[in-house]
A and B are shown apart, each in its own frame.
Chain A
Amino acid sequence: MSLIDARGLRKHYRGMRAGDVCALDGFDLTLEPGRILGLIGPNGSGKTTALKAFLGLTHLDGGDMRVLGLDPRRQRKALMTRTGYIADVGTLPRWMRVHQLLDYVAGVHPGFRRERAQAALSHTDVRPDSRIQGLSRGMTVQLHLALVLAVQADLLVLDEPTLGLDILYRQQFYDRLLSEFDGERQGILITTHEVREIEHLLTDVVFIHHGRAVLQAPMDDLAARFLRLGVGPGEAAAARALGPISERHSLNGIEMVFDGRARSELEPLGPVATPTLPELFVALLGENR
């Protein structure tokens, strides 16, 4: 069974001046167990709205959706016993102390294993009697991750989880996340601006733009489908004849991205490589922005 199966999600926000804003416009997404899916798009593309919809935190105007086989809007409570969610800015209640937070989660979450969270926190500077207000951004994220991982959820939804963290905390975050990841049954849905940071982590990627899934594919398929060719001025015309989807002039000469061309076709013209996700995103959507 898919962890997330969403078809044709639609949501409008009523705008004050510019009329209705379409946050989701027929958005599709599927997440299978064992997969780590990156939802990638510019600000305002509908990323956060989509994540909230999967968790039953926002009302939708249309579409079909099952998350862990449940209807998120109607069965949010059941859904949340098996789902972990970390949102972009610190959402932990600032007035609470760490031990109070652990008490609370232990008191409301049947799957929470307190000793696991405490063991994870013992390696950090987060003390049980610290007030969350007084924790640094990095420590707050450590705490939140410790809570979420102590629940052993089937689905993790991470919305810009490392925003504003320094490099050390970011490394720790992904260390912990991956060393706890259960490739048999768990799935992770993650969004971030630091795409380069996670692109090797992903098994799947969805590009979202103006509320639509522009591309959903396993990373392996992307590597097979898209190639980046660096050409000198002499070969540019021959390369253009093969129909690149984008062309960019850089210090390395001219870089073109091709969709569905064989490596053997391109290699005579210059060095061939797999485009990075940001390169691919710009190549696919550069003109539309």
Chain B
Amino acid sequence: MNVWPALLRREFQEHKAGFFWTPLAILALVAVLGLFAVARGGTGDVSVFLRTETTVIENGQTRSSVEQREADSLIGLVDIARMSDAQLRHALARGRGLLSQPFVLAHFVIALFVLGGALYDERRDRSVLFFKSMPVGDAETVLSKLLFVVWVAPVISVAAIIAAQLLLLCYASIYLLLAGLAGAGQLWVQSGIGSGALELMVGLLVQGLWTLPLYAWLLLVSAAAPRLALVWAALIPLALVLSERIVAGTSWLKDWLSPHMTLAALPHPGQPSGMHPVPRWVSASSWRCS
């Protein structure tokens, strides 16, 4: 009997508030804030996008700093008509990246709490006795929880991110049309929304793999902790890192752990999508190893 649909559906139902309503709420927030921004002429947002460009230089990409300053002076939706295609594409990619961050961050925080509590809560309210009275193996139960948080629930976030991108593009086009300005068509041509969606999906898979050790650790602690699973999950590695520093004077464990933690929590703002930066870190660490 294939139990997976039922197991994943049960995870979805249990955590619907976190993994379904939260992205939707952020989407609604984006819709409202975007409306305000457009009403004010959309000046604030675009300038923020362009100021973050310094990170791109670090990355060794081929844009000169002169272009950056020019870009810096281009502020507001009214200026879209005056941008070159390359500038427009660049600004939009940055905007997409920024837009995905609240969704990714929310997913990460919720995932921490859900996995940290998953097996602990069942023990506490004794529903573990019911679930264990069903013909489902322990491995299937644990894997279904991990699978859902790491690869199934983010699909909802990705859908919400793409919806938010489309929504803001609509706002901008309507603004341009109403203001009688050119550039609305070019906005969609250069939006990169298709390739952005693909990037998000690939990023999702890779980020899932990258954060797997962290999530698996949370699940392990939630299965064993007598109480306050999240506190245990944080204290044990912290204690190990500290004792490594005191005993050996090294920070090998900290160096190994921190990229997993920080990257999952805070995607790099300079990247085109919130889920994208991980491959860069993977390549960075493999470079460091060699």
Residues in A neighbouring B125, C-beta threshold 8 A: 93-94
- Partner of A77 from the list B7, B9, B136 (CB cut-off 8 Å) is B136
Residues in A neighbouring B131, C-beta threshold 8 A: 93
Residues in B neighbouring A96, C-beta threshold 8 A: 13-14
Residues in A neighbouring B60, C-beta threshold 8 A: none
Q: What is the CA–CA distance of A85 and B134 in the complex, to the nearest angstrom?
A: 9
Contact B133 A83 (CB under 8 A): yes
Q: Which residues of chain B from 257 to 282 have a CB within 8 Å of any chain A CB?
A: none
Q: What is the CA–CA distance of A81 and B93 in the complex, to the nearest angstrom?
A: 53
Max count, chain B CB within 10 A of own CB: residue among A90, A91, A100: A91
Q: Which residues of chain A from 51 to 65 have a CB within 8 Å of any chain B CB?
A: 55, 57
Could you tell me the distance in whole angstroms from the C-beta of B230 to the nearest C-beta in chain A? 19
Could you tell me the distance in whole angstroms from the C-beta of A113 to the nearest C-beta in chain B? 14
Could you tell me the distance in whole angstroms from the C-beta of A163 to the nearest C-beta in chain B? 13
Q: What is the CA–CA distance of A105 and B133 in the complex, to the nearest angstrom?
A: 10
Residues in A neighbouring B3, C-beta threshold 8 A: 107-108
Contact B126 A89 (CB under 8 A): yes
Residues in B neighbouring A78, C-beta threshold 8 A: 135
Contact B135 A92 (CB under 8 A): no
Contact B9 A57 (CB under 8 A): no
- Partner of A108 from the list B13, B126, B127, B135 (CB cut-off 8 Å) is B135
**Does any Cβ of A come within 8 Å of B10's Cβ?**
yes
Contact A80 B134 (CB under 8 A): yes
Nearest A residue (CB) for B2? A107
Residues in A neighbouring B63, C-beta threshold 8 A: none
**Does any Cβ of B come within 8 Å of A15's Cβ?**
no
Q: Which residues of chain A from 127 to 176 have a CB within 8 Å of any chain B CB?
A: none
- Partner of B136 from the list A92, A94, A100, A108 (CB cut-off 8 Å) is A108
Q: From DSSP, what is the main secondary structure of chain B's interface residues? A: helix
**Does any Cβ of B come within 8 Å of A87's Cβ?**
yes
Contact B127 A57 (CB under 8 A): no
Could you tell me the distance in whole angstroms from the C-beta of B205 to the nearest C-beta in chain A? 26
Contact B127 A109 (CB under 8 A): no
**Does any Cβ of A come within 8 Å of B6's Cβ?**
yes
B125-145 near A? 1/0 per residue, CB < 8 Å: 111111111111100000000
Q: What is the CA–CA distance of A83 and B129 in the complex, to the nearest angstrom?
A: 13
Q: What is the CA–CA distance of A109 and B125 in the complex, to the nearest angstrom?
A: 22
- Partner of B9 from the list A83, A92, A104 (CB cut-off 8 Å) is A104
**Does any Cβ of B come within 8 Å of A187's Cβ?**
no
Q: Which residues of chain B from 1 to 32 have a CB within 8 Å of any chain A CB?
A: 1, 3, 5-7, 9-10, 13-14
Q: Which residues of chain B from 129 to 178 have a CB within 8 Å of any chain A CB?
A: 129-137
Chain B residues at the A interface, C-beta cutoff of 8 Å: 1, 3, 5-7, 9-10, 13-14, 122, 125-137
Top 3 nearest A-B pairs by Cβ distance? Answer: A107-B6, A85-B133, A93-B127
Q: A87-B126, A94-B127 are in contact. List 5 more A-B contacts (CB 8 A).
A: A93-B130, A96-B14, A104-B9, A104-B134, A110-B135
27 residue pairs of the A-B complex, CB under 8 angstroms, read A55-B132, A57-B129, A57-B132, A77-B136, A77-B137, A80-B133, A84-B133, A85-B129, A87-B126, A87-B129, A87-B130, A89-B126, A91-B128, A92-B127, A93-B14, A93-B125, A93-B130, A93-B131, A95-B13, A96-B13, A96-B14, A103-B9, A104-B10, A106-B6, A108-B6, A108-B136, A109-B134
